[in-house]
Structure 1
């Protein structure tokens, strides 16, 4: 079956669910996610559906600030590189097209910005 582009909420859910299943089983980033998300995975996944639905489909179902919950995570560039590697593999295995490419660009920009901000806060000694 030929791959299609991301085009609806069902595609978003497939992307998010497949990605986070891989994340949960990853040796490097899995333990961090699993510790932080214990008992809260369904809530997190719902939030991620709305986040990506808003970004990619322009259906405005997400509101909030994505960075603050991440600012004290024990992560560095290697973690973001792995997150991005899994995200890219997941998108490429499921979809092809303009929105699939947009998802990867948006994810890369977020990974870069989150890593930059986390390093900044860490270096400032902010608690």
Structure 2
């Protein structure tokens, strides 16, 4: 196991994670069927997002919450979906990395998943 300490490590993490996501029965359909994600565009954004979150590189410019509201409108993004996302993310980190940044990636992802689940639920009630 290695430490999570570079953009290349983030690329490995993100690529490995999404390889699981697209096959997952609980959340894969959001990416494959609903959004029909263009991975050549999506993955670099995710590399930059996590590089910003973990290393403070400020390479990500965007609003992830705003990107998810239209998806939530098409198909409800519920707590169990975010729980599965989080499970796959943690699993991918634990399979590949150790150290402070790996732990921080888990903590940050827990905060993101909880906030997103809450905001998506609130949006459905409006």
**Contact in 2 for aligned 1:37/1:44 (Cα 8 Å):** no
Map 1:26-105; keep pairs closer than 5 Å: 26-38=24-36, 40-72=38-70, 73=72, 74-105=76-107
**Which residue number in structure 1 is paired with residue 116 of structure 2?**
114
Map 1:5-24; keep pairs closer than 5 Å: 5-24=3-22
Q: CA deviation at 1:64?
A: 1.4
TM-score normalized with structure 2 length: 0.92
Alignment gaps of 5+ in structure 1: none
The count of residues paired between Structure 1 and Structure 2 equals 122
Q: CA deviation at 1:33?
A: 1.4
Distance 2:54 2:48 in 1: 10
Provide closer, same or farther for how the CA distance between residues 39 and 106 of structure 1 changes in structure 2, counting only shifts above 3 A: closer
Q: CA deviation at 1:61?
A: 0.6
Secondary structure, aligned partner of 2:94: helix
